Amino acid sequence: MEAVLFQAINRLEAVLAGESMALRSGDSTGLGDISNRKNQSLLELTRISRGIEPADFSDEMRERLGTLRERLDDNSRLLQMHIEATAEVADVITKAMAAAESDGTYGAHVSGARSAR
């Protein structure tokens, strides 16, 4: 049964490596497909692990699972960084759109005081 689990871990790690490479390079064209494959891999691991007791894992499997955990943590950090960057860009766009739509009547004045006419 561990052999099947090793294969599933290898597939998931390949998907994670592809996602990390795409995120680092800024190529978001295949991220939807990668996300689907990652979800499928995680589902596969869940199903396989139902039939295995963690106490029965070999030392090699424990090490392999530790490596997988590290890769999942790295992937999570990278995804979080991209989510935060996306939020920042969205905020800048939102502010720019609000400024473009405003006539300045109720906005803050850069000079600090409005001249009387």
pLDDT at 108: 56
Global pTM value: 0.74
pLDDT of residue 39: 94
3-state secondary structure string, the chain? CHHHHHHHHHHHHHHHHHHHHHHHHCCCCCHHHHHHHHHHHHHHHHHHHCCCCHHHCCHHHHHHHHHHHHHHHHHHHHHHHHHHHHHHHHHHHHHHHHHHHCCCCCCCCCCCCCCCC
Q: What is the mean pLDDT of each run of 10 residues along the chain (117 residues)?
A: 91 94 88 93 91 87 94 94 93 89 62 50
